[in-house]
């Protein structure tokens, strides 16, 4: 079991709101193997978004270690973390987060631009990716000229253009109708089929049920893990 893609041990994340401390994550241990399809579920405020941000290296834990591909990434500098995000992690957001002034092709190219990849190679990969997602006719359209489903397809294309090891999707269908949501989920699942680890945060039970493994979050702790249902997770539970 040393081949775990993601390995969290004793993760704590505390937010300070005025005088009170909010434990968004507490005493979290989690292993996710490469190629898994995981749904993180739970009510709002249960810490699932915080978990996703931690996994995406957008946030740092107050305690605990996070090993990505066997490498401790919690101690990396901000620059090194940015590099890991660029090369290993793809994000898909509920509200797409496309840059409004850039065309679909430019939005897809953005991670490669930030990574400093040469324009010729960029153009080739963008063209191929747009074709894969059926967006070749929309390459020069700006986000406001695209439908919601097309926007999320652009966002997924952008998340995969750097060929990441893991894709983190935060309510990817939250702003879409059922049909387009279904279409977007099939795209993500197809990526998972190609070996990309897929972690989806959702409070939609139907969506969560599609995943091969479900994690249920409650009050910043893992309440249920479908992979090890019997394991009690409060080994280091602290009184609040």
Binding site for other proteins (CB under 8 A): 53, 56, 58-59, 78-79, 82-83, 85-87, 91, 93, 95, 97, 99-102, 110-111, 113-116, 118-119, 158, 162
Which residues touch 81 (CB under 8 Å, ≥6 apart)?
57, 73
Which residues touch 117 (CB under 8 Å, ≥6 apart)?
none
Q: Which is nearer to other proteins, 34 or 115 (CB)?
A: 115
CB of 236 to other proteins, least distance (A): 25
- How many CA atoms, within 13 angstroms, populate the side-chain half-sphere of residue 11? 30
What percentage of the chain's residues is helix, strand, coil (to nearest 5)?
Answer: 35, 30, 35
Q: What is the DSSP letter of 12?
A: E
CB of 99 to other proteins, least distance (A): 6
- CA separation for the pair 50, 142 (Å, rounded): 31
CB of 2 to other proteins, least distance (A): 27
CB 216 within 8 A of CB 42: yes
CB of 90 to other proteins, least distance (A): 9
Kind plus residue range of the DSSP H or E element containing 79: helix 78-88
Q: Which is nearer to other proteins, 74 or 226 (CB)?
A: 74
Which residues touch 115 (CB under 8 Å, ≥6 apart)?
86, 87, 162
> Where do the H-state alpha helices sit in 116-232?
119-132, 148-160, 178-193, 205-210
Q: Which is nearer to other proteins, 95 or 137 (CB)?
A: 95
CB of 25 to other proteins, least distance (A): 13
Q: Which is nearer to other proteins, 100 or 239 (CB)?
A: 100
Q: Which is nearer to other proteins, 115 or 227 (CB)?
A: 115
CB of 84 to other proteins, least distance (A): 8
- Torsion angle, CA of 34/36/37/38, rounded to 10 degrees? -90
Closest CA to 202 of 46, 29, 24: 46
CB of 98 to other proteins, least distance (A): 8
Q: Which is nearer to other proteins, 86 or 226 (CB)?
A: 86
């Amino acid at each position: 079991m040393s081949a775990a893609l993601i390995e969290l041990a004793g993760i704590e994340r505390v937010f300070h709101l005025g005088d009170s401390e909010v434990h968004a994550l507490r005493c979290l241990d989690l292993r996710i193997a490469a190629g898994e399809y995981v749904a993180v579920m739970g009510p709002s405020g249960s810490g699932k978004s915080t978990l996703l941000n931690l996994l995406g290296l957008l946030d740092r834990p107050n305690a605990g270690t996070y090993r990505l591909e066997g490498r401790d990434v919690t101690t990396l500098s901000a620059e090194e973390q940015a590099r890991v995000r660029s090369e290993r992690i793809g994000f898909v957001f509920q509200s797409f987060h496309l840059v409004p002034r850039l065309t679909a092709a430019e939005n897809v190219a953005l991670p490669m631009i930030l990574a400093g990849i040469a324009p010729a190679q960029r153009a080739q990969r963008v063209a191929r990716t747009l074709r894969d997602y059926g967006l070749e006719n929309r390459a020069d359209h700006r986000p406001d000229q695209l439908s919601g489903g097309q926007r999320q397809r652009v966002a997924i294309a952008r998340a995969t253009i750097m060929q990441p090891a893991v894709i983190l999707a935060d309510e990817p269908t939250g702003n879409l109708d059922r049909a387009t949501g279904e279409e977007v989920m099939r795209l993500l699942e197809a990526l998972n089929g190609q070996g990309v680890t897929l972690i989806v945060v959702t409070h939609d039970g139907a969506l969560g049920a599609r995943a091969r493994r479900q994690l249920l979050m409650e009050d910043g702790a893992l309440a249920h893990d479908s992979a090890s249902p019997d394991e009690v997770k409060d080994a280091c539970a602290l009184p609040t």
